[in-house]
Amino acid sequence: MVDEIRASTRETASATGVRELSERVTAAMGRVPRHEFVPPSLAAQAYANRPLPIGAGQTISQPFIVALMTELAAPGPGSRVLEVGTGSGYQAAILAELAGEVYSIEIVESLARRAGETLGRLGYRNIRLRVGDGYRGWPEAAPFDAIVVTAAPDHVPPALVEQLKPGGRLVIPVGPQSAVQELMVIEKLPDGRTVETRKLPVRFVPLVRERKPEGR
């Protein structure tokens, strides 16, 4: 799997600006057992470089995309990272290998519960999970050194930009469900301004929002 990720990284280097994955990210991809995060019936396919269904209309992302988004987010030792869209918990585990604290939000309760069980069984103690609307972020834990969004909204949620620490990076796929989206990196400068870079065409499941009560 890691060799395929390296090959994909080289193939997309002109678009992403990432020619080689760092040793830290490569090592994390090698340590986390992806088969633990997929349904048992798909365990034999766990290390293929492609997304797989995990139930509730959601997927575990292609390993290359997980590695690339992690590289672009650049979490460092001791950093605080927010993930929007826990899903299987796999991306959270990769981030937890590299960061000090990971805060992860999942709107589908059954997925959040299953991810929590898997991450606990594997011994991850630096991940906090919450069931909720990731569009709003996790304001009481902010600011974050990095934010990784694993589902695509049709625009960048303002709350996530607000919760990003100066010098931090937000990695997010943006675009409509019916079309190809773009993987974007938004970096917050020390003065609070942001710089936006479009990296790669991608296709993610849509970012699910909480439904507002009728009449509001």
Could you tell me whether strands 101-106 and 80-84 are parallel, antiparallel, or unpaired per DSSP bridges? parallel
Is 61 one of the catalytic residues? yes
Q: Which DSSP symbol is given to 158?
A: H
Residues forming beta bridges with residue 139, ordered by sequence position: none
Measured CA to CA in angstroms, residue 165 lies from 103, 189, 215 at distances of 15, 9, 36
Instruction: Please write down the long-range contacts of 15-18, taking CB distance under 8 Å and 24 or more positions apart.
Output: 15/199, 15/200, 16/68, 16/72, 16/199, 16/200, 17/199, 18/68, 18/71, 18/72
Q: Which helix (H) or strand (E) holds 84?
A: strand 80-84
Query: Which one is catalytic: 61, 79, 88, 104?
Result: 61
Unique residue bearing structure tokens 């019936």: 41
Give catalytic residue positions.
Answer: 61
